[in-house]
Structure 1
């Protein structure tokens, strides 16, 4: 979810809470004000009636409310002496509504010509359910108006304010360390965004310097190692060709050559792994995986025949992906080579190629591999094996670079499944 949407959601949640609290407070304050106003009106009407009763005795004859809105009846002195005015909410039948309607009633006592009278004055009262409904409708309109205002504010005003930030994000998405171009930040007067642009630019500059330095070191180190290794191997092979050594010396020389060749392969593998992780294979093209795998199987046919291993290919569907051809070749070369090396005489390899999916099944050891270490560098189930232990690590690095997934399972056969994109 975008930051603007999160901000809007929090604002809406805060508005719901604030408006609910405010509406409750406003409702009771409004109700209290209505009661005060009505009570003041009742008190004023009471005084007018008492004053009128002083010179018009017919007023004292109103024993029922009817159209007058008040009633008077005589009471005992004991009931009237200590009585205090009382305001109550009650209901009264209204002929025009043909129903009982809420009213506010004032009950008081007054003395006239030595006698005590009870006076009850009523006035119509606001219906609370109507008041609540009207207040609710008004608040809903207010709420939706505020939410709409916040959405429009976020879309237009905050969108313009955050424009430098989103511009920086787009630049970072496209940025590559191995590219020569730099990011172009948008000018802004906002201090926080300006500092962010400056620090991101400085950070990327330092990372690029470190990347170039590391890249140069790896390439130089690999080159400097490769040259003396090749010279040493050539000299030892020349020495072996002279034929003036006994069997023990030839065995020692052969062992030295094996170690040097393994070191050469290790050096090449580490350099390749570093170049893959540094994303130095940028050129991509459309590659026919079906044809590529068939070509690689043909290349390994002599080795498979020598080890008495049969290789079968099943084309379940055409498989075409966009990838660097060199990396695609390395990916499936390592996969097929792994199935050959970790097999046994008379074994088999079955390769199934589907839509964006390649499955390699091979015979081998009767126990499954350790999935926690399977793609770790230098991991070898057999420590005495002559492999570098980097084949599957390189395979995993290529898959990660392109967003592929690799799964291993054991079903009596060792099964590697690569899900392509």
Structure 2
């Protein structure tokens, strides 16, 4: 949900609560005011009737409300003594409505000569159900109008105010460290947005500088390491070919060369992994994965035969992926090499490819691997293994770069690695 819509939703809920509470208070106060006004009117009608009765005794003969708003009846002194002015709501039959309607009635007692009379004065009152209905409809219209006003303000005024913020978000979404471009911002008079623009610009400049420094360090370190490693290997090879060494010395030289070769592979793998994570492989094109898989299988035929591994394949699709072709080959090669290296003599490798998945199954250790650590750097099931422990880390980095999903399962005594492209 967008920020403006989120704020509108909260405004709508709060406004509904506030209007509801306000409507209740307004209704109670309005009824109280209506009753006060009617009671004042009844008091005034009572005084008019008493004045009229003092001048015209026929008023005392009106005992029903047939054609008037009051009626009078004689009461004994004892009853008059206990009677106080009473205001109450009651119902009376109205000819025009042909139904009983609510009225407000004042009951009081007065003395005329030596006699005492009870006077009842009535006045029409507002029907509460009609009042509530009208109030509810009025409040609904008010609420709808306020919500419509808020929406209009959001789309016209607030969206214009927040334009620098959304522009900044769009620029951040398109920003790439490996292809850093100047970061223009919209001019604004709002202090918070200006501070945000300055902070983001400083942060990006710092990140770009750090990225370039790290990139240069990795490239320089890799280059500086490769040269002495290559020189050391060449000199050891020349020393071994000299022919004046004993078997024990040759064996020691062989171990040193093996460690140097492993260090060389490790250096190349770390450099490759760093380049992938830093998105330095920019060239992308349409890659047919079936062709990549077939080429990789052909390259590994000698290793498969050397380890006496049976290869089966099932190609049911040819995914067309937009990615760097070198990385596509690295992904397939690393997964296939992992299935061969961590297999057992006379084992099985099964390769399957569909429109959305690439799967490799292989025999190997008779227990599942640690799926949580399998794709971490330098993870090896056997500490003595000659592997660098970076092959699956590189495969995972390639998958993360292009949004693929890679996972591991152990089923039917086989280790299964699967890459999903969607």
TM-score, L = length of structure 2? 0.98
Cα distance in 2 for residues equivalent to 1:98 and 1:173: 73
Q: How does 1:328-407 map to 2 (within 5 A)?
A: 328-407=328-407
Provide the residue aligned with 2:125 in structure 1: 125
**Shift, 1:81, TM fit:** 3.2
Alignment partner of 1:208 is 2:193: no
Q: Which residue of 1 is the match for residue 265 of structure 2?
A: 265
Residue number in structure 1 paired with 2:76: 76
- 1:310 Cα deviation from its structure 2 partner: 2.0
Partner SS for 2:49 = helix
Unaligned runs of 5+ in 1: none
Inter-partner Cα distance in structure 2 for 1:319 and 1:7: 44
Q: d(CA) in 2 for partners of 1:135 and 1:282?
A: 66
The DSSP-based 3-state class of the residue aligned with 1:328 is: helix
What is the CA-CA distance between 1:336 and the residue it aligns to? 0.2
Aligned runs of 1:102-251 on 2, under 5 Å? 102-251=102-251
Runs of 4+ in 1 over 4 A off after TM superposition: none
Number of the residue aligned with 1:300: 300
Q: Residue 84 of structure 1: CA displacement?
A: 2.1
Contact 1:352-1:359 at 8 Å conserved across structures: yes
Show the counterpart of 2:87.
87
Cα RMSD after superposing both structures: 0.9
For 1:320 and 1:351, the matched residues in 2 are separated by 18
Q: Mind listing any 5+ residue stretches in structure 2 that lack a counterpart?
A: none
Contact 1:42 1:122 in 2 (8 A): yes
Stretch deviating more after TM superposition (286-295 or 180-189): 180-189
* 2: CA distance, partners of 1:356 / 1:185: 41
**Partner secondary structure for residue 179 of structure 2:** coil
Deviation of the 1:317 alpha carbon? 1.7
Distance, in Å, in 1 between the alignment partners of 2:292 and 2:397 is 20
- Cα deviation digits, residues 22-47 of structure 1 (max 9, x gap): 10011111111111111111111111
Q: Offset of 1:78 from its aligned partner?
A: 2.1
Q: Deviations over 1:38-73 (max 9, x none)?
A: 111111111111100001111000111111111100
Alignment partner, residue 417 of structure 1: 418
> Secondary structure of the residue that 1:178 maps to in structure 2?
helix
Could you give the per-residue CA deviations for residues 362-384 of structure 1, whole angstroms, max 9, x where no partner exists?
A: 11111111112111111111111
In the alignment of these two chains, the number of paired residues is 421
CA distance in 1, matches of 2:52, 2:160: 72
Distance 1:260 1:322 in 2: 37
Q: 1:283 and 1:174 mapped to 2: Cα distance?
A: 18
Q: SS where residue 418 of structure 2 aligns?
A: strand
Is it true that 1:61 corresponds to 2:56 in the alignment?
A: no
How many angstroms does 1:82 deviate by? 4.7
